[in-house]
Amino acid sequence: MGYRLSKIYTRTGDQGQTGLADGRRVPKDHPRVEAMGEVDSLNSQLGLLLAELSEAQARWPSLAEVIEVLGPCQHRLFDLGGELAMPDYQALDAAEIARLERAIDHWNLELGPLEDFILPGGSRLIALTHLCRSATRTAERRCQQLNAVEPLREALPAYLNRLSDLLFVAARLIARRQGQPEILWRAADKADA
């Protein structure tokens, strides 16, 4: 494959501009760069979650299935970032979105319907999964902001939307497989008037 980065610093961004793969120079706060940054941040957080899941599967072997489903998502997020950096490049397709939907449907069979709102937490793994879910929503919003000024292929925001759903269901599945009760939201007590 060869070397992709021969030099890490170039000094070309010191004045607040960055280069896209198509040769354009844009401000570092351009919606495209914001979207790329949020996808990168999400990918880093997902990497942390996968590392924690790998360590935890010694105690809870059934978490291997979660790793198997979420692991490829890091690669697809890198693909998504590539599409953001190179607008003519296309890597994500409907098959990957369908893969996430199948996993959601499969896990929901084990979980059953959600009858109450749940809060992030219960264990470190559950909380990390919810952090990834909320980071996915942030990346999705940044992509929608970009989409308003430079239209994106439908697959990109659809993938992020489905990934957020998958992570929500994964958090519930992890709770179940760890034997952790879900933390149910409780409305504030109403003061007597």
With bands split at pLDDT 50, 70 and 90, how would you rate the model's confidence at 1? Answer: very low
Ordered by where they begin, the domains of the chain are 26-180 (1.20.1200.10)
Instruction: Encode pLDDT of 164-186 as tens digits.
Output: 999 999 999 999 999 999 998 99
Instruction: Encode pLDDT of 21-41 as tens digits.
Output: 777 888 788 999 999 999 999
Radius of gyration over alpha carbons of the chain, in Å? 19
Triad 88, 33, 16: Cα angle to 5°: 125
Identify whether the C-beta of residue 54 lies closer than 8 Å to the C-beta of residue 128.
no
pTM score over 0.85: yes
Alpha helices in the chain (DSSP H): 31-56, 64-85, 94-111, 124-149, 155-178
Work out the burial of residue 44: count CB atoms within 10 Å of its CB; fewer than 13 is exposed, 13-18 middle, 19 or more buried: middle
- Give the chain's end-to-end CA distance (angstroms, integer): 71
What is the Cα–Cα distance from 120 to 53, expressed in whole angstroms? 17
